[in-house]
Structure 1
Amino acid sequence: MSQGDERGYGGNEPGGRTDDAYSTLGGTRQTRTRLPRGGEDDGYGRRPARNSRSLIMAVGVVVLLIAAIAFANQGGGDGSDGAAEKKPEAAGAGPTAATGTKPVQGKNGTIAAGFAHDEQGAQSAAANYAVALVSAEILQPDRRREIVRQIFVTNRVGELESRFDQAYDKAFLDKVGLDEEGKAAPGMTYVSRTAPVGTKTTTYSGSSATVEVWCTGVFGTAGVSSTNPVSNDWFTMTLTLQWADGDWKVDSFSQKDGPAPVNTDRTASNADEIAKAVEEYGGFTYAR
């Protein structure tokens, strides 16, 4: 269950819950040229007469074939490999496929920054902001203020700081087993990690965009005596973005449940395994 679900925070409220272009994976094109073996005869015990000029020509043909194959495998030239040239178009056709645009390089604290001023940049920003808004750090008052100031438009910062403080008050923190600083008790690990599955732009202009981010995540407190065990959730966040101060910033956001797949009957890991995974596995910077 995500944080917004536990609190009922979200809904339609604003404060609620390439240098590396396409690479072709797969098999390698190979061509095998068969030449007569030196020990073969003509069926009558006689070896065919050798002609040095013919041999040189045959070797030359083989060399040319090898060179042509190597060039084709590189996919270079102006249309020398039609299949390779169609890859970007085919990959971009799927709504959740990668576009090939170079990922954002900047950082504002631990959150990505410097997104492209286009639709793909808006989707990349929304994905990274969704991760920050449902992170364990958002429950820590000091870190929360930093996150709000990093990702929201300036004129919404004061209002949203107040709304977040009200939503994640002492009663909420007690419910999930955290102290007033958003820290878990000794021997316990609070987990709140989100992974965007896909993004979709519903409206876009040069100055604003509305992006839906389909997410899954794990939420809860890992520990032997935890009354809020770690479980998974599926939800969709809708973020309204504005282009401000040279980057995409959040104006408002909301959250709804699903789409969710059928749960498997996989055996759940114990609390120690979950806590260890959170400590050992780092997160990602997301790019559309």
Structure 2
Amino acid sequence: MGTSSQQRTGGIRTGARPTAPLRPSRRLITTVAVVVLLIAGIALANRGGASSGTPEAAVDPMSVEIPHSSEGAQSAAAKMAAVLGSEKMFDPIRRGDIIQRIVVPEQRLAVQKAVDADYTTAFNAKLGLDENGKPPAGATFVSRSMPAGVTVRHYDSREATIDVWCAGLLGLTGKGAPKELPVTTSWFTQTLTVRWTDEGWRLAEFTQQDGPEPGAGEYGQAPQL
């Protein structure tokens, strides 16, 4: 979600940031492309949060069949990263539904406890939301995680660990939005371990850390595109 430097976790595994090289020309292209994504995300939110795709896909990010391959695992991880950073996570009922849909059965309870410990009523209040994740009248709540690149840490036919580098939007917009809670941007990396099950790729563990930001630090910190 990229809201602070605090690491949010649905598992135990953590690790160092990826070290794949990123050439200057690619970095510039990435920055421009994600700025376009951020502008599009704000515009989308101001239209009331409408989304493309089928209604089924909007409810279940894993509803479209994803292949049993490295590319499939990367696609699944990116979809999971996006939904884990969405507005739905601030609503206890919708959050529970997401966990049931994307997490491996044996880890659902542990992941549910971990995310519930993060998404508290007090945390919602800091963002101007009620206990069910609803914004004030006349305002639209924006929470977007937009994958910009992935790095495969490990892959085999049973399990994969993948870094998903994301641009994030978080805040309130619209005529009724408090000026002190504007939509802000952030960069963060989710590390997701996905496991192949009878239902396809499902989430086993995840952690999140801030950064890296485009153009900041030494080359070699950002995930590959």
Q: Do the two structures share a fold, i.e. TM-score over 0.5?
A: yes
Distance 1:150 1:224 in 2: 32
1:228-247 to 2 correspondences below 5 Å: 228-247=181-200
Q: Alpha carbons of 1:2 and 1:9: their partners in 2 closer, same or farther (altered >3 Å)?
A: same
1:40-189 to 2 correspondences below 5 Å: 107=57, 109-113=59-63, 114-189=65-140
Distance 1:159 1:195 in 2: 25
Distance 2:95 2:157 in 1: 29
**Number of the residue aligned with 1:75:** none
State the Cα distance separating 1:115 from its structure 2 match.
1.2
Secondary structure at the counterpart of residue 207 of structure 2: strand
Instruction: Say yes or no: does 1:208 pair with 2:159.
Output: yes
Contact 1:15/1:164 (8 A) holds in 2: no
- What code does the residue aligned with 1:125 have? A
TM-score by length of 2: 0.70
CA-to-partner distance for each residue in 1:247-281, whole Å, 9 max, x for gaps? 00110111112221259xxxxxxxxxxxxxxxxxx
Distance 1:141 1:15 in 2: 23
**Number of the residue aligned with 2:150:** 199
Q: Alpha carbons of 1:251 and 1:108: their partners in 2 closer, same or farther (altered >3 Å)?
A: farther
RMSD: 2.6
**Number of the residue aligned with 1:24:** none
Count of equivalent residues = 174
- What code does the residue aligned with 1:157 have? R
State the Cα distance separating 1:225 from its structure 2 match.
2.0
CA-to-partner distance for each residue in 1:184-224, whole Å, 9 max, x for gaps? 01111111012111112110111000011111121112244
**Number of the residue aligned with 2:201:** 248
- Determine which structure has the larger strand proportion and give its number: 2
More RCO (CA 8 Å, sep 6+): 2
Q: Percent identity?
A: 36
Distance 2:112 2:179 in 1: 29
Q: Alpha carbons of 1:229 and 1:108: their partners in 2 closer, same or farther (altered >3 Å)?
A: closer
Q: Alpha carbons of 1:229 and 1:15: their partners in 2 closer, same or farther (altered >3 Å)?
A: farther
- What code does the residue aligned with 2:2 have? S
Unaligned runs of 5+ in 2: 14-25, 27-53, 217-224
State the Cα distance separating 1:246 from its structure 2 match.
3.3
Unaligned runs of 5+ in 1: 17-93, 95-104, 264-287
**Number of the residue aligned with 2:2:** 2
Secondary structure at the counterpart of residue 116 of structure 1: coil
**Number of the residue aligned with 1:90:** none
Secondary structure at the counterpart of residue 112 of structure 1: coil
Distance 2:134 2:205 in 1: 27
